[in-house]
Amino acid sequence: MLDLNLLRVFDILLEERSVTRTGARLGLTQSAVSHSLNRLRYLLSDELFVRGPSGMQPTPRAVEMGPQVHAALNQLQSALAPADFDPATSERRFTVVAGTYASAVMAPSWVDRVAHVAPRVELAIAEFSGDMPERFDARRVDFLIASVLAAPERFVRESLLTEALVWVVRADHPRFQDVKIDLETLVSAPHVVISRRLPGLINEGGERRAFVTRASWEDAGAFESALTARGLTRRIGVTVPDTYAAMAVAAFSDMATLVPRRLALLSAAAGRLKLIEPPYESPMVELNLLFLKERLAEPAIAWMRDLIRATATAL
């Protein structure tokens, strides 16, 4: 008879790819995790995981059975869980995918709220990946916080807040000391551009469509349109992978970059950056909360969703 504890070890190991982290999550020693894995290997006649340079790598059999095992464990947990969710005593783990903005602007107060009302709850803030729909379906992700332009029908997409975009340069930049900066001055400095990689694309004919999100804080082409109307062009000095990298480069160079206002204010307060209002019409950007429709019936998911929304409202 298969011990469900073995499947729990398998499930966490597939997510963590580390015997040490798996043991820490389950309250087991490394030897206990290894012993459980060896028992499961024997029962299934497959190595399941092999040690590699970046941790424990799953075999094709482990990858194939992983989503089904995870979904089955979650269904069993839901069936045995109390009808109500008590945050004061719950030891549930919530996984929220969030980018630089949400992690820096929302997470501090959100995490503090959770710590006060649900001290035993564990939070995991994860990075975006190309298999987000599959991770949601396998219950490995509970929520996504991002600027989501489109998502499959089985998801709820709620507005959390809107954000303005501002340009930033280093505080003592010699070209940007005037109170009001015009478009010509803005393009006189090279720009830091955040990668425009889109994590997902819509397939209109398919049921399992991927998400379409803003890869960075874009202004829907407003800046480029303003340049075209004035016959101006800009020079890109460097392309970076995220907003924090863009602000760091701007703080220690003569370059300018376009970032969300609340995030820019965190660095401006330390005296490193100067904020510049866009000298053109710049649209607001919406930040969304995404989750599976069917999961709103779960008391724990409904509670966390309300807590995230309350945090955004407070901003």
Task: Write down the domain spans for the chain.
Answer: 1-80, 85-162+284-315, 165-283
| CA angle (48, 50, 51) in 5-degree steps | 150
Integer Cα distance of 127 and 267 in angstroms: 22
Contact between 182 and 279 under an 8 Å Cβ cutoff? The reply is yes
Q: With bands split at pLDDT 50, 70 and 90, how would you rate the model's confidence at 83?
A: low
* Residue reference for tokens 């069993």: 76
- Residue 20, SS3? helix
For 85-162+284-315, CATH gives 3.40.190.10
CATH architecture under which domain 1-80 falls: Orthogonal Bundle (1.10)
What is this structure's pTM?
0.73
Kindly state the average pLDDT of the residues 104-126: 94
Burial of 260 (0-12, 13-18, 19+ CB in 10 A): buried
Phi, psi of 157 (to 5 degrees): -120, 105
132-145 tens-digit pLDDT: 887 888 888 999 99
Q: Is pLDDT of 101 > 50?
A: yes
Integer Cα distance of 196 and 301 in angstroms: 31
59-73 tens-digit pLDDT: 999 988 888 888 788
Runs of H (alpha helix) within the chain:
4-16, 19-26, 30-44, 60-80, 100-101, 107-117, 132-137, 183-186, 222-230, 243-251, 261-268, 299-314
For 165-283, CATH gives 3.40.190.10
- Least confident interval from 18-32, 54-68, 70-84, 163-177: 70-84
For residue 207, the model assigns a pLDDT of 42
Integer Cα distance of 12 and 14 in angstroms: 5
For residue 214, the model assigns a pLDDT of 66
Q: Is pLDDT of 202 > 60?
A: no
Q: With bands split at pLDDT 50, 70 and 90, how would you rate the model's confidence at 251?
A: very high
For residue 266, the model assigns a pLDDT of 86
For residue 210, the model assigns a pLDDT of 62
Phi, psi of 73 (to 5 degrees): -65, -40
For residue 67, the model assigns a pLDDT of 83
For residue 79, the model assigns a pLDDT of 67
Q: With bands split at pLDDT 50, 70 and 90, how would you rate the model's confidence at 240?
A: very high
Range ranked top by mean pLDDT from 54-58, 203-207, 249-253, 267-271 = 249-253
What single-letter DSSP state applies at residue 92? -
Kindly state the average pLDDT of the residues 73-79: 73
Q: Is pLDDT of 178 > 80?
A: no
Q: With bands split at pLDDT 50, 70 and 90, how would you rate the model's confidence at 185?
A: very high
**Structure tokens given for 158:** 């709620």
Which residue from 121, 157, 161, 166 is spatially nearest to 290, judged by alpha carbons?
157
Q: How many CB atoms lie within 10 A of CB 106?
A: 22
Q: Is pLDDT of 127 > 50?
A: yes
Q: How many CB atoms lie within 10 A of CB 160?
A: 21
Fold identical between 85-162+284-315 and 165-283?
yes
**Structure tokens given for 33:** 């995790």
Which residue from 191, 154, 157 is spatially nearest to 276, judged by alpha carbons?
191
DSSP codes joined into one string, 189-221: S-EEEE----S----TT-SSPPPEE-SS---TT
